[in-house]
Amino acid sequence: MTVPPWSARRWGAMPEPGWPERDWVAEWMTLDGDTWYARLDPEGCPGLPPIVMVHGLVVSGAYFRPVATYLDHRYRLFIPDLPGFGRSSAVRVWSLPELAAGLARWMVAHELGAAVLVANSLGCQIATLLAATRPELVAGLVLVAPTMDPSAGGPIGMMVRGAMDIPRERQSLWRIWIPDLLRCGPWRGLVTLARGWRDDQEGRLPDVAAPALVVGGERDPIAPPPWIERMAGDMPRARAVILPGSPHAMNYSRPRELARVIDTAVSGYVGV
């Protein structure tokens, strides 16, 4: 008898507003002692790769809802909160390699096989870590506003850029940001930011064999267009695209435009 990698698992109605109940369910899975919360819509086309969405620093997967609503008619979507963020639990602060390894175990537990990872901000660093270490799990990448741009000068510079981005986003994003910050706590956020800055993402990009699309926003001060072009150039099968007028969290503030880009990228990955 095969023992599942999780010790407890349950499903229920979405505790967050705005997710269509006919399509989405909430899942709580205890994996290696920590409870992962996720939003699932497994009813898309089985002939297309599943999409796993990976959130950024401090926030949770809740801010993917706008872009997910443009994709859930076609794709199977899986949006977890990483341990210690959103509605997922973790006693200690996980390192980026631990978050990538944990996400890999979570994907294996869901029998996802080769998936397309759609990540935003710091989530892109976790996605490239997973793609470099577990390539069999990754059919392709869509890296949306990836961190960390070296020209920011350090974590303080990244925080300054983050402050510059706030007025460029849809202000309703505060209703997600503030509860998510309170859940994870400032200490976890600062430690993870510092670790993200020290992460040698550029050093592993040549080892990312999966096809990738690096998406930048024209008005994004955190991941500006020159950094987007540079990052795409460091990967063997990547290209860059810049969305006009888009800020950093374009999955929330420019969801229709980003959904079109994701759909085009996935179609290219599977040749349809």
Q: 97 pLDDT exceeds 70?
A: yes
Q: Name the more confident of 107 and 6.
A: 107
d(CA 82, CA 105): 12
Describe the crossing of helices 186-198 and 174-184 by its angle, rounded to 10 degrees: 90
Q: 88 pLDDT exceeds 70?
A: yes
The second-level CATH assignment, the architecture, of 6-270 is 3-Layer(aba) Sandwich (3.40)
Token pair listed for 253: 């503030």
Q: Among candidates 91, 145, 216, 118, which has minimal Cα distance to 103? A: 118
Q: Where are the alpha helices (DSSP H) in the chain?
A: 65-69, 96-109, 122-133, 155-165, 174-184, 186-198, 201-204, 225-233, 250-253, 255-270
Is the CB of residue 158 less than 8 Å from the CB of residue 223?
no
| Type of residue numbered 60 | S
Q: 272 pLDDT exceeds 50?
A: no
Render pLDDT for 114-169 as a digit per residue (tens, 0 to 9): 999 999 999 999 999 999 999 999 999 999 999 999 999 999 999 999 999 999 99
Q: Where are the alpha helices (DSSP H) in 110-254?
A: 122-133, 155-165, 174-184, 186-198, 201-204, 225-233, 250-253
Render pLDDT for 100-118 as a digit per residue (tens, 0 to 9): 999 999 999 999 989 999 9
The pLDDT value recorded for residue 1 is 43
The pLDDT value recorded for residue 270 is 74
| Rounded percentage of the chain residues whose pLDDT exceeds 90 | 83
Identify the band that residue 2 occupies on the pLDDT scale cut at 50, 70 and 90: low
Token pair listed for 17: 């507003």
The per-residue pLDDT of the chain, averaged, comes to 93
Is the CB of residue 223 less than 8 Å from the CB of residue 121?
yes
The pLDDT value recorded for residue 9 is 85
d(CA 117, CA 131): 9
| Type of residue numbered 240 | A
